[in-house]
Amino acid sequence: MRYPMDGLPQRVTIYEVGPRDGLQNEPVTVPVEVKAEFIDRLADAGHRVIEATSFVHPKWVPQLADAEELLTRLDRKPGVRYPVLVPNERGLDRALEHGVAEIAVFASATETFAAKNLNRGLESQFEMFEPVVARALDSGVRVRAYVSMCFGDPWEGPTPISQVVTVGRRLLALGCYELSLGDTIGVGTPGHVAALIDAFGGPERLAVHFHDTYGQALGNTLAALRAGVTVVDASTGGIGGCPYAESATGNLATEDLVWMLQGLGIETGLDLDKLVTTSTWLAGRLGRPSPSRVVQALSKG
């Protein structure tokens, strides 16, 4: 049954991050043929944006060392976007060599995480992003930006909203078409979400990316929708985390998000049964159950 609520969008785009943000945090490396089938299944389930992989150095994220081979194996579906994460100019070179049409860059809202994740300071990280974004745009490649630690940092504590806004606005000013606000360690709450979006002056060009460490991901998503956000990052099966922040647990599960949105009468274009089947299939390859509550419930049913 559908029970719409006032003040919510009619349609939400789910930006699927499972193949990249999900698999990068697995303790074992998933075979490239499994990754390719995973992405193909996601497209078949109705996804129109699937973040395929990352061109980060294999030393830092060995689970994604097969990025080039994966892209050659993809059966690209018409109307489906396959962005990749690019950390620096070398990563951009690799992406351009493989004809990538859309990339994402990954920034930090805090000094400590910038140092640990990017080996840069809060200010100097932009010296790395600026040429990447400029060259990508000159090549006709769209650029999305992530900002991590938007709500809290395990080393610094709560992140000042003004600091997040400063970093985010600079990324948008570079020419990024969208800014994904990340709750990397899952400490955000709905009021905090609403306050952060309001501090940006509204939801224009904003997306959200929640982790479910404290069970707040769906509540935080609902707060973002009420504030006008229409793009939500999620990971099929709820897999993923952050290899540079031990307290970061799994991403918001795509199935859990779709269940909520369907109940609210919000369109996503996704087939929930196919997503559940895909998560169950992937869990078998990972050797553990899916953390998604919806997958667990429907699999038992």
Q: 202 near 178, Cβ under 8 Å?
A: no
- What tens digit of pLDDT does each residue of 6-27 get? 999 999 999 999 999 999 988 8
Residue 1 belongs to some domain of the structure: no
For residue 102, what are the CA distances in angstroms to 14, 50, 76, 174, 177?
16, 11, 14, 15, 10
Query: Does 230 have pLDDT greater than 70?
Result: yes
Q: Which domain holds residue 106?
A: 13-300
- The tally of domains found in the chain comes to 1
Residue 247: per-residue pLDDT: 40
In this prediction, residue 294 carries a pLDDT of 95
pLDDT digits (tens, 9 = 90+) for 153-179: 999 999 999 999 999 999 999 999 999
**Dist. CA 164–CA 166, nearest whole Å:** 5
List, in order, residues 6 or more apart from 163 with CB less than 8 Å away.
109, 110, 122
In a domain, 6, yes or no: no
In CATH, what number is assigned to the domain containing residue 21?
Answer: 3.20.20.70
Residue 250, pLDDT score: 82
Residues with Cβ within 8 Å of 183's Cβ and at least 6 positions away in sequence, in order, are 150, 151, 152, 208, 209, 210, 211, 217, 220
**206 backbone dihedrals φ, ψ, rounded to 5°:** -105, 145
Identify the pLDDT of residue 244.
44
Can you tell me the distance from the alpha carbon of 22 to that of 290, in angstroms, rounded to the nearest whole number? 12
Whole-number percent of the chain with pLDDT over 70: 97
Is position 176 annotated as part of the catalytic site? Answer: no
Give residue for tokens 């299939």: 281
Higher model confidence: residue 288 or residue 208?
Answer: 208
The pLDDT value given to residue 262: 98
Radius of gyration, CA atoms only, the chain: 18
Please identify which of the residues 242, 257, 261, 270 carries the catalytic annotation.
242
- What's the predicted TM-score (pTM) here? 0.96
